[in-house]
Amino acid sequence: MSRIKSIQRGRFDSSATSYASKKITISKVDPSKCVVIPSSAGLYYPCMSYGNLTETELTVYVGSSNGSGITFGWQVIEFY
- Cα dihedral 59, 65, 71, 73 sign: negative
pLDDT for the residue numbered 46: 58
Helix (H/G/I), strand (E/B), else coil: 31: helix
Q: Alpha-carbon distance 50 to 59, whole Å?
A: 7
pTM of the model: 0.81
Other beta carbons within 10 angstroms of residue 73's beta carbon come to 14
Chain Cα centroid distance, residue 56: 13
Other beta carbons within 10 angstroms of residue 23's beta carbon come to 11
Domains of the chain: 4-79 (2.60.40)
Confidence of residue 77 (pLDDT cuts 50, 70, 90): very high
Q: Give 37-47 pLDDT, tens digit per residue.
A: 887 655 555 57
